Structure 1
Amino acid sequence: MLKLALLFLVISIIAGIFGFGGLSAATAGIAKILFFIAIVIFLIFLILGLMAGKAIF
């Protein structure tokens, strides 16, 4: 997921350099959304991992 966010960020920067403002803004928005989704998934797995580590059998 972070690889896709980084890819869209690079596409956005390249499009901005060449003057494609609309495409640059769209890909930057997609990169931002993918980044925040990746952060949320990371936090969910972190919390689940911490809860599983404290389980008493």
Structure 2
Amino acid sequence: MLRWAIIFLIIAIVAAIFGFGGIVGAAAGIAKILFFVFLVLFVISLITGRRTTP
């Protein structure tokens, strides 16, 4: 999922260089959402992965 966030971020940067404003906003928004979803899933996996069964 982090890979997809980085891909959309790169798309947003390239679109910004060429001046496509609508695409920049959409790609940056998608990248931001995917990054936050990645962070939430990462924290959840850290919490559940540290549990040990007795």
Q: Would you say 1:22 and 2:32 are equivalent positions?
A: no
Q: Structure 1: how far apart are the matches of 2:8 and 2:46?
A: 26
Runs of 4 or more consecutive aligned structure 1 residues displaced over 3 Å after TM superposition: none
Q: List alignment gaps of at least 5 residues for structure 2.
A: none
Q: List alignment gaps of at least 5 residues for structure 1.
A: none
Equivalenced residues, count: 54
Larger radius of gyration: 1
Q: Would you say 1:50 and 2:34 are equivalent positions?
A: no
Aligned residue in 2 for 1:7 = 7
Q: Would you say 1:32 and 2:48 are equivalent positions?
A: no
TM-score, with length taken from structure 1: 0.89
Q: Structure 1: how far apart are the matches of 2:4 and 2:50?
A: 27
Identity %: 56
TM-score, with length taken from structure 2: 0.94
Q: Structure 1: how far apart are the matches of 2:11 and 2:49?
A: 34
